[in-house]
A and B are shown apart, each in its own frame.
Chain A
């Protein structure tokens, strides 16, 4: 694999040979490991993998399911990558995503339905504000008081889940349905479905827009350039006149905005309400997406689709074979492990910085 660390970034770090290999390698390893697992339970790995590929990409409906599953990952992947490339190890995207989903749903069911379609932008903006403010706090603490961002963002995830859990079971609980859900948002505020009956919705395009905007930010803006340098070498960045605290806080806030859009998209397009368990770890899968995608726009898109494919194939493959869902989890887990090997490099960089 390339010898650039996790904070590597488009345009600033030279293209490493084997970038493509670095992307494919975790999958080869995952196929190998899960192939062994399949052999162990007496299945033919080739058959199963063909079946899985069909379930992920075989028909238009299955492709739609895959892209639908990939949608939240586009947001969380970009949100994570923004921070990672700036050397900010933000693991709090999940919490921001959840709070943003609640905020968007709140707009969607409390404001009068008469607002119509304009509920959608209002909900997105509010969700982004909430998530950006949420991540601003650990960003500020890290930039000005050297509070370790891994600890603060990780802990804030639990706080976010607690807040959301309280609200959804208390003040914002739906009177109509049972526990743990808010009322449904107004129909006018739904993001349009693209290929019914699949759940693929317009949020997918907003996610694509995020990926493209991320690509432009990294390659074509001064702050994107500064973020990359801060991620590579803070002393250098300071000496060259870049505000390191500013870059750190900006990365956190941008990450919050993207995570916020993601939460809003998921609430307005997928679930049409907020429920407890809103995110089955999209923020954490987003970390794997960013790592596997090496923080590049194209890489993030491909990784999000691949993780989406695993998720959509996993849910149906067990209907057509004796394969338990656990097997898909093995594949997913193996891919993550090999993709996340890069994390250890970041940890090493941090130690070196401290020394």
Chain B
């Protein structure tokens, strides 16, 4: 069929944004029918490289190669025409259309060709959908509304949609981020089948185990440069990890497990029979019971969108509970406002750092003292004292070693890890007794993750109680003394931290998944 040696490649590709060199002299060869993984820390240049390969960005220097020929993209359409398609982290499906409508959206088969007046031939659409699904070895209920379809099915439809448009080179940006372990297996099976059928796949990931399980070759980016390339058969997780971090010094994935169970004390935070109705599109909670003790980290595992966000909001006082009770030590705080809960010693690490954890446009100083603005320690006489504010801000930031330029710079000028450390610096001051930590390391690079895990351990070792909601299995396993599994708004299982393994938790996560109800109209 074709004798090309390089299906997609780059030669000496460089791209700078101002003074920041996002990509420097990157060369890359992806052979036809190969799965090639790109790994690297946040900010290593993965996204920039993908944007160049798709024609969204024009490189400053270097060339892109498609089918052994040098090409120059001036607009994304050209890359599309050459068969390069990308599945983004956020799916691009229209939620209210059916999966079939989404499949053909923008390129509908026409029954009668009359320009804008053409009628869509749904028979042909369905046939092409079913053919594609059969080729990919998946079954899809095409008449289902896409918003109600399971996440991995939505992802399949995204992929099939690109294939239908003639995509031969598939780029996937962290495709497993939202999937449960079983769904990941299904996705990998699909990708392998596509590869065996001749599709070339470029796959961005943070998760090294997935990379070694799926990819044929791996390229490591670090600070905009390629630091390592190898066939998967010639390498292993530790080698790849050392190149991601650089210097080959430290081990990477969070490996230290929770310890020191002897210090677990009295119960700090108790939830009994908590139920929350579903409002708008939020998920309902059903009869949730949990308790967190002094010196304990309790993890909550679950596929995203099974009520974790609602639980978190309810526990910190940002969402009204329907039924049940929440107690902090001896006090009933079920109806207490968020303000009152904070005053009683609840710290909150928001999963949405950019929009809820921080006021990203406000200064570092304002962000780190926010919430304490009414405290008497910041005042001199009736008014706030600039000097005292500065002193408190510095004190908090230094305690957690936050690296910042100036107190007056916007919080957005900090790196992701430092932004999150800033949040911890604010939230852990004043010795809270309970910390609600939601996705504490989301969007943080490996070094930052280590630092944040250390903060959480320190907090626990000083007798703090932590409820940790995370989508990162490694993180839950490394940090938690107990892991609760959440599915469909319920706690469906509990595993002791030292007995937990990804498989058993993963099974619990999807065990309760309701069978997709038929959505035929």
Given A13-B363, A228-B362, A232-B359, also A240-B371 (CB < 8 A): yes
A308-345 with Cβ < 8 A to chain B: none
Instruction: Answer yes or no: B82 CB below 8 A from chain A CBs.
Output: no
Residues of A within 8 A of B343 (CB): 241
Given A14-B363, A222-B373, A228-B362, also A236-B384 (CB < 8 A): no
CA distance A239 to B352 in the complex (A): 11
Residues of B within 8 A of A228 (CB): 362, 366
Shortest beta-carbon distance, A354 to chain B, in Å?
A: 13
Given A12-B366, A220-B383, A229-B366, also A236-B359 (CB < 8 A): yes
- Whether B357 and A236, one on each chain, are in contact in the complex, defined by CB atoms closer than 8 angstroms, is yes
Question: What does the 1/0 interface line of B323-357 toward A look like (CB < 8 Å)?
Answer: 00000000000000011001100001010100111
Instruction: Answer yes or no: B61 CB below 8 A from chain A CBs.
Output: no
- Whether B355 and A236, one on each chain, are in contact in the complex, defined by CB atoms closer than 8 angstroms, is yes
Residues of B within 8 A of A229 (CB): 359, 362, 366, 370
- Whether B360 and A239, one on each chain, are in contact in the complex, defined by CB atoms closer than 8 angstroms, is no
- Whether B373 and A12, one on each chain, are in contact in the complex, defined by CB atoms closer than 8 angstroms, is no
A2-26 with Cβ < 8 A to chain B: 4-5, 8, 11-15
Residues of A within 8 A of B363 (CB): 12-14
Residues of A within 8 A of B342 (CB): 240-241
Residues of B within 8 A of A12 (CB): 359, 362-363, 366
- Whether A239 and B357, one on each chain, are in contact in the complex, defined by CB atoms closer than 8 angstroms, is yes
Shortest beta-carbon distance, A212 to chain B, in Å?
A: 13
A213-234 with Cβ < 8 A to chain B: 216, 219-222, 225-226, 228-229, 232-233
Instruction: Answer yes or no: A279 CB below 8 A from chain B CBs.
Output: no
Chain A residue at minimum C-beta to C-beta distance from B408: A14
Shortest beta-carbon distance, A82 to chain B, in Å?
A: 17
CA distance A301 to B216 in the complex (A): 67
- Whether B384 and A13, one on each chain, are in contact in the complex, defined by CB atoms closer than 8 angstroms, is no
Of B350, B355, B366, B406, the contact of A225 (CB 8 Å cutoff): B366
Residues of A within 8 A of B406 (CB): 14
Residues of A within 8 A of B352 (CB): 235
Instruction: Answer yes or no: A243 CB below 8 A from chain B CBs.
Output: yes
Residues of A within 8 A of B374 (CB): 222
Residues of B within 8 A of A235 (CB): 352, 355-356
Instruction: Answer yes or no: B196 CB below 8 A from chain A CBs.
Output: no
- Whether A13 and B362, one on each chain, are in contact in the complex, defined by CB atoms closer than 8 angstroms, is yes
Residues of A within 8 A of B501 (CB): none
Instruction: Answer yes or no: B318 CB below 8 A from chain A CBs.
Output: yes
Instruction: Answer yes or no: A144 CB below 8 A from chain B CBs.
Output: no
CA distance A219 to B365 in the complex (A): 13
- Whether B362 and A232, one on each chain, are in contact in the complex, defined by CB atoms closer than 8 angstroms, is yes
Instruction: Answer yes or no: A350 CB below 8 A from chain B CBs.
Output: no
Of B348, B361, B383, B386, the contact of A232 (CB 8 Å cutoff): B361
Shortest beta-carbon distance, A116 to chain B, in Å?
A: 32
Number of interface residues of B (CB under 8 A): 30
Instruction: Answer yes or no: B171 CB below 8 A from chain A CBs.
Output: no
Residues of A within 8 A of B384 (CB): 219-222, 225
Residues of A within 8 A of B366 (CB): 11-12, 225, 228-229
Shortest beta-carbon distance, B344 to chain A, in Å?
A: 11
Given A12-B366, A14-B410, A216-B383, also A238-B359 (CB < 8 A): no
Of B348, B361, B410, the contact of A239 (CB 8 Å cutoff): B348
Chain B residue at minimum C-beta to C-beta distance from A230: B359
Instruction: Answer yes or no: B44 CB below 8 A from chain A CBs.
Output: no
Shortest beta-carbon distance, B373 to chain A, in Å?
A: 4
Q: Which of B357, B358, B363, B366: most chain A Cβ within 10 A?
A: B366
Residues of B within 8 A of A239 (CB): 316, 318, 338, 348, 350, 356-357
B21-41 with Cβ < 8 A to chain A: none
- Whether A219 and B386, one on each chain, are in contact in the complex, defined by CB atoms closer than 8 angstroms, is yes
Shortest beta-carbon distance, B293 to chain A, in Å?
A: 25
Instruction: Answer yes or no: B267 CB below 8 A from chain A CBs.
Output: no
Of B338, B357, B359, B361, the contact of A241 (CB 8 Å cutoff): B338
CA distance A14 to B414 in the complex (A): 14
Residues of A within 8 A of B383 (CB): 216, 220-221
CA distance A225 to B366 in the complex (A): 8
- Whether A233 and B355, one on each chain, are in contact in the complex, defined by CB atoms closer than 8 angstroms, is yes
CA distance A11 to B364 in the complex (A): 11
Question: What does the 1/0 interface line of B232-248 toward A look like (CB < 8 Å)?
Answer: 00000000000000000
CA distance A276 to B339 in the complex (A): 47
- Whether B318 and A238, one on each chain, are in contact in the complex, defined by CB atoms closer than 8 angstroms, is yes
Shortest beta-carbon distance, B37 to chain A, in Å?
A: 33
Instruction: Answer yes or no: B409 CB below 8 A from chain A CBs.
Output: yes
Of B358, B361, B386, the contact of A13 (CB 8 Å cutoff): B361
Residues of A within 8 A of B408 (CB): 14-15
Residues of A within 8 A of B348 (CB): 239
Q: Which of B339, B356, B359: most chain A Cβ within 10 A?
A: B359
Chain A residue at minimum C-beta to C-beta distance from B353: A236
Chain A residue at minimum C-beta to C-beta distance from B379: A222
Question: What does the 1/0 interface line of B291-314 toward A look like (CB < 8 Å)?
Answer: 000000000000000000000000
Question: What does the 1/0 interface line of A250-274 toward B look like (CB < 8 Å)?
Answer: 0000000000000000000000000
Given A13-B410, A241-B342, also A225-B356 (CB < 8 A): no
Shortest beta-carbon distance, A105 to chain B, in Å?
A: 34
Chain B residue at minimum C-beta to C-beta distance from A237: B359
- Whether A14 and B409, one on each chain, are in contact in the complex, defined by CB atoms closer than 8 angstroms, is yes
Q: Which of A229, A232, A241: most chain B Cβ within 10 A?
A: A241
Shortest beta-carbon distance, A114 to chain B, in Å?
A: 37
Chain A residue at minimum C-beta to C-beta distance from B427: A240
Q: Which of A8, A14, A220, A222: most chain B Cβ within 10 A?
A: A14
- Whether B361 and A4, one on each chain, are in contact in the complex, defined by CB atoms closer than 8 angstroms, is yes
Residues of B within 8 A of A233 (CB): 355, 358-362
CA distance A11 to B408 in the complex (A): 8
CA distance A13 to B361 in the complex (A): 7
Shortest beta-carbon distance, A218 to chain B, in Å?
A: 11
CA distance A241 to B341 in the complex (A): 9
CA distance A13 to B410 in the complex (A): 7
- Whether A241 and B355, one on each chain, are in contact in the complex, defined by CB atoms closer than 8 angstroms, is no
B209-252 with Cβ < 8 A to chain A: none
B358-409 with Cβ < 8 A to chain A: 358-363, 366, 370-371, 373-374, 383-384, 386, 406, 408-409
Residues of A within 8 A of B316 (CB): 239
Residues of B within 8 A of A13 (CB): 361-363, 410
Knowing that A219-B386, A222-B373 touch, tell me 15 more A-B residue pairs with CB under 8 angstroms. A12-B362, A222-B384, A225-B366, A225-B370, A228-B366, A232-B359, A233-B361, A233-B362, A235-B355, A238-B338, A239-B338, A239-B348, A239-B356, A240-B342, A240-B371
A-B contact pairs, 27 of them (CB 8 A): A5-B361, A8-B361, A12-B359, A13-B362, A13-B363, A13-B410, A219-B386, A221-B383, A222-B373, A225-B366, A228-B366, A229-B370, A232-B359, A232-B361, A233-B359, A233-B361, A235-B352, A235-B355, A236-B357, A236-B359, A239-B316, A239-B348, A239-B356, A241-B338, A241-B343, A241-B371, A243-B339
Return the 5 tightest CB-CB contacts between A and B, nearest first: A220-B383, A241-B339, A233-B359, A222-B373, A240-B371
Q: Residues on B close to A: CB < 8 A?
A: 316, 318, 338-339, 342-343, 348, 350, 352, 355-363, 366, 370-371, 373-374, 383-384, 386, 406, 408-410
